[in-house]
Amino acid sequence: MSIVTTRQRPKTQTRGEDTRRRILEAALDIFAAEGYEGASTRQLAERAGVNLPAIQYYFGSKEGLYRAVIGDIVDQTEAHMAPLAPKVSAAIADRDTQPEELLELLCEMMESFVVLVTSGPQIDSKRLLFARAEVERTAGLDTLHESGMRHMFQPCLGLISRLFDKPTDDPEMVFRTLALLGQVIMFCHDSTARVLKTPELDDASVRTIQRLLREHTQAIFRTNLPGVKSV
């Protein structure tokens, strides 16, 4: 009896996880296309191929599902940036870290950020969801902003501040960080796709963007910090 139970339990959990994942992916598309207010639980259930009670069972309510979608995006962001995070933190904390190493990590952060905002499953829906969250001031907006600050802005600010030997609350360091990250954020905009005449960037285009951003970043710091070598 116990053997049967042990074998069945993982299958039940897997089905539940698959259903939950299917609902999350469907909800991302619907919330992006219709907005939070415009999306109905019936639409969400139909897109996911589940009955209405399934949404309540897994997420409690439409708001709970929306927050779970936001949380899932945050988790994906954290997982994407995780390989660099400890190296960046250690380099910022170590006063003996050389400028060239700080600059290399900054370039790697920018390259990773490019992949995050241009590639991956449902990237168009994620972009649209971000835009709607800004316009509609939805419940998930603060969570998205906090994630962006923690995973992208603060690490880059720390590296730039170390390069200039300035505190992180120096307004110029904040402005420099925003200007640098703004180069990447431009590729999130729908207007960029129109200019490029393609809805998606292929791998070759992403690599080109990464190379150009590295060149731009190096040029900025060579100009302002002549002692820093290119990396």
In order along its 231 residues, the chain shows pLDDT tens digits of: 333 333 344 444 588 889 999 999 999 999 999 999 999 999 999 999 999 999 999 999 999 999 999 999 999 999 999 999 999 999 999 999 999 999 999 999 999 999 998 888 898 899 889 888 888 888 788 888 898 899 999 999 999 999 999 999 999 999 999 999 999 988 876 667 678 777 677 888 889 999 999 999 999 888 877 566 655
Task: List, in order, residues 6 or more apart from 227 with CB less than 8 Å away.
Answer: 99
- Would the CA dihedral through 192, 197, 199, 201 be positive or negative? negative
Taken as a whole, the chain contains a residue count of 231
Q: What is the pTM of this model?
A: 0.83
pLDDT, residue 205, reads 87
Closest CA to 177 of 202, 149, 201: 149
Determine whether domain 2-224 maps to CATH 1.10.357.10. yes
Q: CA 42 to CA 181: how far, in whole Å?
A: 39
Cβ–Cβ contacts within 10 Å for residue 222, how many? 14
Which sequence spans correspond to the domains of the chain? 2-224
